[in-house]
Structure 1
Amino acid sequence: MDLRSTLVVVGGSACSFKLLNSIVRFLPTPAPAREKAWKWRNISTSLAHSALSGAWAVSCFYLRPQMVEDLISSHSLLSHSLVAVSTGYFIHDFLDMAFNQSFRRSWELLLHHSVVVSCFGLAVTTRLYLGFAVMSLLVEVNSIFLHMRQLLLLSGRRNRPGSEVAVPRPSVAYMMTSWLNLGTFLVFRVCTLGWMARWLAGHSEQIPRYILMMGTAGLSLISTMNTVLFYRLLRADVLTNTHNTSKSH
């Protein structure tokens, strides 16, 4: 794709995710989630992107395994299209949060999206570092379960029916989603970002200084956010449940 076609894909992607977000408004919504209708639509749209981009990223490396060895110049039309589509999604999500959520509650994700759009924008316009961008999208495999967990919480399906009268017990669906979320978090977030940081350090002499600074700043920000997120997930889904189980005995 040339630059014009790339911009069309990015813009078309942003509009498509906006359309999907609008369609979710007319789909059945669980009663507990109706009070947070915007959040339900936002997370549902994010889930669609995670499922699409996570599977797409895995396919890119499966169909072009040499891209793992050369994250700078090796790429395919499939990988270029993926990064362009994801850039459009992050633009949509940035605007969706900026217009519908207070800055105090969304500044972390707004900062994250700004960094991602900057890095992805560089990759799709220069056709360099597309492998690195696709590698970062493997994180979306974990985001599938992270967003499913959020939707279960919004729909009020975290606890088993009737468990409100005693010590709340997580539902089977929530427990499975929670453990899949934690497991894929370690594999697709911790391991992937650790590998990317190692690769960046090992190829620092081959990368222009300003790109190295962008990559280092982006990885540092995302790694910090993931550390905080993992602690919150452990506290909510492991430590709290362990505490409740001990109390019930």
Structure 2
Amino acid sequence: MDLRSTLLLIGGSACSFKLLNTAVGFLPTPEPSRTKAWKWRNISTSLTHSSLTGAGAVLCFYLQPHIAEDLISSCSLLSHSLVAASTGYFIHDFLDMALNQPLKKSWELLLHHSVVISCFSLAAASRLYVGFALVSLLVEINSVFLHTRQLLLLSGRRNRSGPEILSPRLSLAFSITSWLNLGTFLVFRGFTLCWMSRWLACHSEHMPRYVLMMGTAGLTLISIMNAVLFYKLLRADILKNTSKSSNNH
């Protein structure tokens, strides 16, 4: 795939996710989330991206295990297309947040997306480091549960200790999603980012300095953001419930 085809794929992906985002607005929306219609559309679109790219990354490594042996120069049509399509999604989501959400609420994600777009664009355009970008897409497996949790909260389906209790069944759904989110967070965010950092350090002599600096800065920023996010999730879903349970006894 040449550079022109790559740019067309990135642009086509961005437009496709924009169309999906618009289409979600015409679907039935849970009543509690109607006051936050933009957020519901945004997270629903993000869930679709996470489901596709998380499964796609696993499929790439399964069908083409040689990619894992050389994350710098190994590149296949499937892996390259997946990274390019994901770049298009992050461009769409960056613009969606920038246009619809106050900067004070979105600056962290805008910064995160800027880093990802820069790194993925480099991989897609040069056809180098595609394998490394593919490893980072394994993080999206956790994002499936993270976005599902957000949609449950928007729809009012909180856990038993929350202010909105619709039914024990829905409370159980939130609880299961919460635990799956925390578990996959440790595996597919924590372990993956640690492995990527170690790999970057071990292969630093094989990379141009600007690529090494870009990768190091990106991984450092994303690791810090993920550590903060994990603490917030742990405090909201586990520590608060434990504290309330202790007070009740």
Residue 55 of structure 1 deviates from its aligned partner by 0.1
Conserved? CA contact 2:60–2:78, under 8 Å? yes
> Which residue matches 1:210?
210
Contact 2:158 2:164 in 1 (8 A): no
Aligned CA distance change for structure 1 residues 31 and 125 (closer, same or farther; 3 Å): same
Q: What amino acid is the match of 2:247?
A: K
Cα offset, 1:212, TM superposition: 0.0
* In 2, Cα distance between equivalents of 1:164 and 1:232: 20
Whether the aligned pair in 2 keeps the contact of 1:75 and 1:130 (CA below 8 Å) is yes
Q: Look up the SS of the partner of 1:74 in the other structure.
A: coil
Q: Deviations over 1:157-203 (max 9, x none)?
A: 013599769xx998100000000000000000000000000000000
- What residue identity is the alignment partner of 2:120? F
Partner of 1:247: 247
1:14-61 Cα offsets, whole Å, 9 max, x none, are 000000000000101111100100000000000000000000001111
Quote the sequence identity (%).
Answer: 74
User: Which residue matches 2:222?
Assistant: 222
- Evaluate the alpha carbon distance shift between residue 202 and residue 17 of structure 1 in structure 2; reply closer, same or farther with a 3 A threshold: same
- Give, in whole Å, the separation in 2 of the partners of 1:75 and 1:218: 22
Residue 74 in 1 paired to residue 52 in 2? no
Contact 2:139 2:188 in 1 (8 A): yes
State the Cα distance separating 1:244 from its structure 2 match: 1.6
- Structure 1: how far apart are the matches of 2:140 and 2:81? 16
> How does the TM-score come out when normalised to structure 2?
0.96
Residue in structure 2 matched with residue 122 of structure 1 by the alignment:
122
Structure 2 distance, partners of 1:163, 1:202, is 49
Give the Cα separation in 2 of the matches to 1:64 and 1:117.
24
Structure 1 residue matching 2:69: 3-state secondary structure: coil
In 1: Cα distance, 2:163 partner to 2:12 partner? 46
Report the secondary structure of 1:11's partner residue. Answer: helix
Q: Contact (CA 8 Å) 1:160, 1:169: kept in 2 or not?
A: no
- 1:221 to partner: Cα distance: 0.4
> Which amino acid letter does the alignment assign opposite residue 197 of structure 2?
A
Report the Cα distance in structure 1 between the residues aligned to 2:14 and 2:162, rounded to whole angstroms. 42
- SS of alignment partner, residue 137 of structure 1: helix
For residues 64 and 11 of structure 1, what CA distance do their matches in structure 2 show?
26
Rounded Cα–Cα distance in structure 1 between residues aligned with 2:202 and 2:50: 29
Q: TM-score, normalized by length of structure 1?
A: 0.96
Q: Residue by residue, what CA displacement relative to the aligned partner does 1:64-102 show, whole Å, maximum 9, x if unpaired? A: 111111100012100000000000000000000000001
Taking the aligned partners of 1:115 and 1:161, their CA distance within structure 2 comes to 37
For structure 1, the 5+ residue unaligned runs are none
Q: What runs of 5+ residues in structure 2 fail to find an aligned partner?
A: none
Residue 163 of structure 1 contacts residue 169 of structure 1 at CA under 8 Å; is this kept in 2?
Answer: no
Q: How does 1:92-131 map to 2 (within 5 A)?
A: 92-131=92-131
